[in-house]
Amino acid sequence: MNGYYTAAKQAEAEIVEKKSRFIGYIKPVSTEAEALEFLNQIRKKHWDATHNVYAYVIRENSVSRFSDDGEPAKTAGAPVLDVIQKEGLTDVIVVVTRYFGGTLLGTGGLVKAYSKSAKAAMDAAGKAKRILCTAFFLGMSYPMWNKLEKELDGCVVRDIQYSDEVNVSLLTPSEEYEALCRRLTDLSAGEVEPVTAGEEFAAFPER
């Protein structure tokens, strides 16, 4: 997998269906433990809610789980999971809190309400693409930095330190890393040699 989409940020959105309040929460997460920690936070916040329904999809170990939390089977958690999958999101948890308003919605109404709430939370968060990137370091003289800086415009600069020389920590898409290394080595006549610091999935501007 060279890339995937997740929620751009933590967000929430609320809808009302026949006086029942549905509050959708979404958060990008990296592990199942993070997902469960967020779920517990919402449960504590809404300890008095009628239901705290959830669904999450985690890339690590290909985990996907959901819970109807007392609603009729497959009317709550399953629709939320379905929305996550249709939106193509991974490494994300969605929790929908319901406060019962006194009117039964029926199975079809519940599916619609939970789906709508999950989608509203997703729209509030937006999507972010994570792609496989190579992290690397560069150290060079100031004149060389002035020469090569434009070559690094397509990279994400994580940190830059100015001392006796310029030291930069960067990310670039892994599929572009070898070509970039060759360009930097050629342009610096071998003076600059990138030091690889591993690979990771990270947010990266789409070009």
Q: Is residue 189 within 8 Å of 141, Cβ to Cβ?
A: no
Burial of 163 (0-12, 13-18, 19+ CB in 10 A): exposed
Q: Comparing C-alpha atoms, which of 156, 157, 159, 147 is closest to residue 183?
A: 147
Digit-by-digit pLDDT tens for the chain (207 residues) are: 578 999 999 999 999 999 999 999 999 999 999 999 999 999 999 999 999 999 999 998 999 999 999 999 999 999 999 999 999 999 999 999 999 999 999 999 999 999 999 999 999 999 988 999 999 999 999 999 999 999 998 898 999 999 999 999 999 999 999 999 999 999 999 999 999 999 988 876 555
pTM exceeds 0.85, yes or no:
no
